[in-house]
Amino acid sequence: MAIKYFSLSSGGTSLARHTRKRLGALALVMAGMTGLGLSSCSEYDLDERTPSNWGNSIYSYLAGNGNYTNMTRIIDDLGYTAVLNKTGSKTLFVADDDAFARFYANNSFGVRSYEQLSEAQKRMLLFGAMINNSYQLNYLCNTEGPVEGACMRRLSALSPYDSVPRLRPEDMPDNKYWKHLKSQPFTYCFKDLTYIPMIHFMEKFLANNKITNEDYDFLYNNETNRKPGQASVNGLQVVEEDIRCSNGFINRTEEVMTPLQNMAEIISQKPVASRWNSFLERFSAPDSVEEASIRLGLSWPAEKAYQKRFFSEWSQGGRPYSTTADGTVIDDAELLTFDPGWNEYYAGQNTTADVELQRNMALMMVPSDEALDYYWRDGAGSILRERYGTWEAVPDNVIAELVNNNMQKYLTSCVPSKFPTMLNKSNDPMNITTNDVDSVWLGCNGAIYLTNKVFAPTSFVSVMYPLIVFNDNYKILWWIINQHRYDALLNSLTSTYSLMVPSSNAVLQYVDPCSYGKTDLEMLRFHYDNATKEPYASVHKYDPATGVVGDSIDEKRGYWGLDRRLEFLLKDHVVVGDIEDGHEYYKTMGNSIIRVKDASKGAGGMTIEGTYQMNDNLRPIPVSHIYNQTKEQTGGNGKTYILDEQPILGTRQSVKKILEATPEFSEFAGLLEASGLIENNYKDKTCGDNYINVFNSYQYTVYVPTNESIRNLINDGKLPDPEQIDEKREAGINVTADSTKLVNFVKYHIQDNALVIGGRNESSLYETALIDTRTNSFVRLSVTADDKEISIKDGKNNTRRVVKTSPAVYNRFAREYIYPGKSAKDATDIETNSSIVIHQIDGPLMYE
């Protein structure tokens, strides 16, 4: 990229003189140097007087040596002689004239002599090799405290204004954010308006971070052979250290030191990584800066200077950069993990930004063009090629997912000796080896590993894949998955998932569970707001008898009005396991039950129902598409099923309502009513349709003995008659014992875990709602369930079986809701819910 530079000076003096102070005042630095030749900060204040046992000034030493004529000429030309000839506090890394001779023979500036150096280049060579504090070399790896061996980067004295690029239209990124600038001959555009750090590797830092000499050599492409105790700055060995001067220290480097570019700059200049650079440039935008415009003498706001920024979750100031110049908010799915052009990048927030910057820097793995071509043509990326045809047509959210998987926040965790523990974005093993890396380029804010293979994100092989590739159709589910970080779960390769995805059409048909306790049902129609990058829902009256949906009567947004309801929807659409393994019923992550039919017919023949669809005899939901992301197919974790007509819905029927509506359940319904376990209000909350108070946000089975068996117990005196209990109570007789016996009988028929005939085979001891007061533990039942039947062994060794004489008496599904507030008619959110399956059994369960 051909970019013109000029420097901005003030009164002939570099603006670098006014660089921000790092690590506090000089006193803090001096206090950490006890034992290094200085006893205290008060004894030697370099800004005011010179220690008697120190030598000449920095400038006097260089001028008097005779072999630093290039550096002294730079100092003179920049008007910096007086500064470096007086008291002060500087650390300077210099190269002698022999090194400059080698520099002129081959350098990135393209100059062949001192006379060809521009003023901006001279500033880079001087201020890019200077720190505005006085440090002995070994102290450079200490951070504030001091904490020894914790520092690898410090800000140089090079001001962003020391080289101001004039960016021509042909050199601007080719995306919509730059179009308005392309009509101008050039634009003042800084690559980044933060200072440029220098990188130094010292023995203590490497040891403290468990970075071996072999790791170090790898970072420098094995062109070095590091020995213990060696120190390097920006990759150059320090060959003469701690030359003590009256106003600081000089360290001589083996070659001429130039400022490092940031990762984005480096990648933009590498032909072998041109495809990856085109990915990054999608997320770049010019950010106008008032202060910079004024300092450049422009008439703000008519004339503007800019800096190049990248839309990212983590950028300058430790904040996201996610809003365009016109105020448009960029979708979270289209943000990079961090800004690769941010010179002062830091990752953590444990302490001050200054210290975090010093401790670490980032890493980006960049596949070569050849590697990306193979991935696209013959590798796993062929699924993207089949969908989009060209890389240019792949949406930004998909590209962001790929790029972010190759971004690592901490370089110190990503050196070869730590490759076995290196994880990707989904916390799966990265499985990288040194053979995968062709070159390493070190920038001022991170390292770049040029790889010969593509490290694709787990989401490209997991059940998340269709949501990423076809995001426009599934934005609602995508948003809630990312909002509540379910992507980590659904990308996990250690489990198998069946993810059912309602399309943008299906989410227009969501019957609101919050309306189950109201006079009229309501339907939510979910939409995605492209301006705010958030979903919202219009509210409509809904008549389930006719299927008529009325006009919109309200709108819902935000966490309490919408987010938790969407999370509720999501959980009902995820099954941990394979829903094509031959069974009919499956439990979702939300503890509800779904029914799957005709799985062998695949897309177009397979159907799925929620308990609402089953209980209200609605049409089963056809599966329109199936994406096979199984381990055998892609190395992934399951299958994704697209639902175009309607989302899966949970039933509005409670246990009480089902019992009362089913003649075969009438006797047990009376026992439940008399037990006092049913409440309309529960713990200062409201219940949608009578809540059994032993339920607690889980899944349960209710066993209902036949009417005849219950009447026999009552007639034999083994179970109190609810009517007689009421008569005794009215007569003033103590009925505590009878009531307790009745309540315990009912509780013994309520079991944790929903067991379904036609579900997965299960056999275990399951807790009931009954507590044994002698052991203070829940009484258990021994239950076996399979595709054909369910058998239960009780505490008296009786074996009972589920009755299957009619579909009305087994596999009956209920769901009970608790809402915040005092009235179900005003419910706007779901506090909690429980899912229940009800079965008739051929005899009562007896504990005693």
Tokens representing residue 633 in the block: 């197919």
In a domain, 279, yes or no: no
The pLDDT tens digits of the residues spanning 669-680 come to: 999 999 999 987
**Closest to 128 (Cα-Cα) out of 157, 161, 104:** 157
Average pLDDT of the segment spanning 726-743: 90
Name the band, by pLDDT with cuts 50, 70 and 90, for residue 259: very high
Q: Are residues 623 and 662 in the same domain?
A: no
In this prediction, residue 841 has a pLDDT band, given cuts at 50, 70 and 90, of very high
Annotate 357-422 with DSSP letters as a single string: HHH--EEEEEE-HHHHHHHHHTSTTHHHHHHHSSGGGS-HHHHHHHHHHTEES-GGG-SGGGGGG-
In the numeric block, the tokens 């894949």 are attached to 465
Strand partners, 817: 833
Distance of CA 164 to the CA centre of its chain: 35
Domain match, 684 and 639 both: no
pLDDT at 24: 35
| Structure confidence at residue 379 (pLDDT) | 86
pLDDT confidence of 531, banded at 50, 70, 90?
A: confident
State the pLDDT at residue 164. 83
Domain end (from 459, 493, 511): 459
Q: What is the mean pLDDT of residues 426-430?
A: 89
pLDDT of residue 726: 87
Cα–Cα distance, 438 to 221 (Å, whole number): 8
Residues 484 and 440 in one domain: no
36 — pLDDT class (breaks 50, 70, 90): very low
Q: How many domains does the chain have?
A: 4
Same domain for 507 and 618?
A: yes
What is the rounded CA–CA span in Å between residue 195 and residue 385? 41
Torsion sign over Cα 376, 377, 383, 384: positive
Across the range 742-767, mean pLDDT stands at: 96
Confidence of residue 788 (pLDDT cuts 50, 70, 90): very high
| Averaged confidence pLDDT in the chain | 90
Q: Is residue 611 located within the same domain as residue 665?
A: no
Report the run of H or E that residue 713 belongs to, with start and end.
Answer: helix 707-715
- Distance CA(65)–CA(67), nearest Å, equals 6
Higher pLDDT, residue 20 or 407:
407
Q: How far is CA 11 from CA 14, 17, 78, 79, 83, in A?
A: 8, 12, 11, 9, 14
Q: Are residues 482 and 398 in the same domain?
A: no
Residue 303 belongs to some domain of the structure: no
- The whole-number pLDDT of residue 684 equals 62
Residue 250 shares a structural domain with residue 128: yes
CA distances (Å), 269 to each of 122, 160, 287, 311, 467, in order? 22, 20, 22, 20, 34
Q: What pLDDT, on a 0 to 100 scale, did the predictor assign at position 16?
A: 33
Q: Do 140 and 242 sit in the same domain of this protein?
A: yes
Which of 3-17, 272-286, 648-662 has the lowest average pLDDT?
3-17
Last residue of a domain, one of 214, 235, 260: 260
Q: How confident is the model at residue 745 (pLDDT cuts 50, 70, 90)?
A: very high
Q: Give the CA angle between residues 822, 827, 830 to the nearest 5°.
A: 105
> Which of 69, 90, 108, 110 shows the shortest CA–CA distance to 14?
90
- φ/ψ of residue 14, rounded to 5: -60, 140
* Domain interval for residue 791: 655-841
Query: 598 CB contacts (<8 Å, ≥6 apart)?
Result: 605, 606, 607
**CATH number, domain at 89?**
2.30.180.10
Domain boundary among 593, 610, 643: 643
pLDDT top residue among 24 and 622: 622
Please report the pLDDT score of residue 145 as a whole number. 82
Q: Is the pLDDT of residue 33 over 90?
A: no
- pLDDT at 351 (0 to 100): 63
The helix/strand/coil state of 616 is coil
Segment 381-396, tens digit of pLDDT:
888 898 899 999 999 9
| Neighbouring-strand partners of residue 123 | none
pLDDT tens track for 167-180: 999 999 999 999 99
92 neighbors 71 (Cβ within 8 angstroms): no
* In-domain check, residue 91: yes
pLDDT of residue 412: 97
Provide mean pLDDT across the span 710-723: 94
pLDDT band (50, 70, 90) for residue 688: low
Same domain, 383 and 429: yes
On whether the CB atoms of residues 699 and 663 are closer than 8 A, the answer is no
Determine contact, residues 22/194, Cβ cutoff 8 Å: no
Window from 56-70, 546-560, 644-658, 796-810 with minimum mean pLDDT: 546-560
Instruction: Identify which of 348, 355, 246, 317 has the alpha carbon closest to the alpha carbon of residue 28.
Output: 355
Q: What is the mean pLDDT of residues 189-204?
A: 96
Position 290 in a domain: no
Q: How far apart are CA 409 and CA 314, in angstroms?
A: 10
Note the pLDDT of residue 573. 97
The span from the CA of 254 to the CA of 94, in Å, is 9
**Which letter, b or e, does each residue of 526-552 get, where b requires 16 or more Cβ atoms within 10 Å of its Cβ?**
bbbeeeebbbbbbbbebeeeeeebeee
Does 70 or 472 have the greater pLDDT score?
70
What one-character DSSP code corresponds to residue 195? P
**Looking at residue 34, what is its pLDDT?**
32
Helices (H) and strands (E) in the chain, counts: 27, 41
Instruction: Assess whether 678 and 810 both reside in one domain.
Output: yes
Q: Give the residue, 617 or 586, on which the prediction is more confident.
A: 586
Answer yes or no: do 632 and 712 share one domain.
Answer: no
CA distance 423 to 401: 15
Residue 71 placed within a domain: yes
Q: What are phi and psi of 633, to 5 degrees?
A: -85, -50
Residue-wise pLDDT tens digits, 52-83: 445 799 999 999 999 999 999 999 999 999 99
Work out the average pLDDT over 814-839.
87
- Angle (nearest 5°) at CA 43 between 41 and 45: 65
Q: Which residues pair with 345 in a beta bridge?
A: none
472: confidence class by pLDDT, cuts 50, 70, 90: confident
Query: Residue 827: what residue type?
Result: A
Residues in the chain: 848
Provide the pLDDT confidence category of residue 35 given band limits of 50, 70 and 90.
very low
User: Does residue 94 contact residue 73 with C-beta atoms inside 8 Å?
Assistant: no
Residue 46: both structure tokens together = 């370099």
pLDDT one-digit tens code per residue, 326-374: 888 998 889 999 999 999 999 976 668 889 999 999 999 999 999 999 9
- pLDDT for 30 equals 34
The alpha-carbon radius of gyration of the chain (Å, integer) is: 36
Please report whether residue 119 resides in a domain: yes
Q: Is residue 201 part of a domain?
A: yes
Within a domain: residue 336?
A: yes
Check residue 148 and give its pLDDT: 93
Dist CA 426 CA 399 (whole Å)? 16
469 and 448 in a common domain: no
Confidence at residue 527, expressed as pLDDT on a 0 to 100 scale: 95
